[in-house]
Amino acid sequence: MTGIRRREFIALAGAALLARPASARPAAYPAPARELMATVPGGRLYVRTNGAGSSAERLPIVLIHGGPGGTHGSLLDALALADERMVILYDQLDGGRSDRPNDPANWTLARFVGELEPIRAALGVARWHVLGHSWGGAIALEYGARRPAALAGLVLASPLISTKAWLSDANALRGRLPAEVQADLVRCESAAPPPEARCDAASGAFYQSFNRREPLSQARRTYTHPEDRGVNLDLYRHMWGASEFVSTGTLRDYDGAPLLAGLDGPRTLLLVGQHDEARPITAMAFAEQSPGAELGVIPGAAHDIFNDRPDETTALLRAWLRRQDERR
């Protein structure tokens, strides 16, 4: 416990010192250096890369977005890392610009994990770092537990590791909201909910506090493409459900916590925001189950760490990834 707490403090202090003003964020993201459609079980995925390829100094990093049913748009601020390594972003099947067969037979955790190796092969990457955010954290955890030879570093960012723990965190955080908002959230899950606008307002209060505390940047707001069909809510509801506080989908009994002990702990980082839906205290407990793993907490950030504190998040990742590169 003591070691994890000390590393947490180092992560907080280091990130704060390296922070830049929000006004320094770019007005637009760079165009992809390369785009392709990678064939995976079930269809083809949109993949984009920026930055230098695999080298003796810096290995590529692939980032797995949240959802289920989300897109790579939530991770675009990680492109700041492309000044020294290849950054790989992609849309999971049935989301964003990837194929959308909308076949529930494809909507399994194992199949989403199976997307990674075909992407790596399509890009000709020998070794890489893997970062999974939110639902993508479950994908990254399952991939890392296989100990693939290609994996140089694993980042579980604001991760879904256990549905039971996720719901426990959500309900604990709900208890920090004003009593009236708490009551509305409970009523909104009942058989006789209040008007939809009232439920939307209550959910919005929760999201403002623990999901995304800062407005979307101009770059995020203007990042569009005619082939991008956005978030797939059918997929989200099928695998998760309709509420942050109750899971009724296929992930309702998911528990990846037993996999933590089998990870390469010294090459594993758990990364969360100070106000994250995936609470730091829970992430700390998970980190302790993977000997040698580190915990980083991004000050001021909620669940959308790349949006709320992009400079602090990429600065922490930059330093940690460099250390992993030097270990090989």
Catalytic positions: 134, 276, 303
Give me the amino acid identity at 111. Answer: R
Q: How are strands ordered across the β-sheet holding 61-64?
A: 34-40, 43-50, 87-90, 61-64, 128-133, 151-157, 268-273, 294-298
- In the chain, the N- to C-terminal Cα span, in Å, equals 27
Q: Say if CB 7 and CB 279 are below 8 A apart.
A: no
Q: Say if CB 185 and CB 203 are below 8 A apart.
A: yes
Structure tokens at 272: 């969360």
Sign of the torsion formed by the C-alpha atoms of 294, 145, 63 and 61 = positive
The b/e string for 165-204 (b: 16+ C-beta within 10 A; e otherwise) is bbbebbeebbeebeeebbebbeebeeeeeeeeeebeebbe
What is the rounded distance in angstroms from the CA atom of residue 269 to the CA atom of residue 151? 13
H or E element, residue 17: helix 2-18
Task: Count Cβ atoms below 10 Å from residue 311 Cβ, excluding itself.
Answer: 17
H or E element, residue 90: strand 87-90
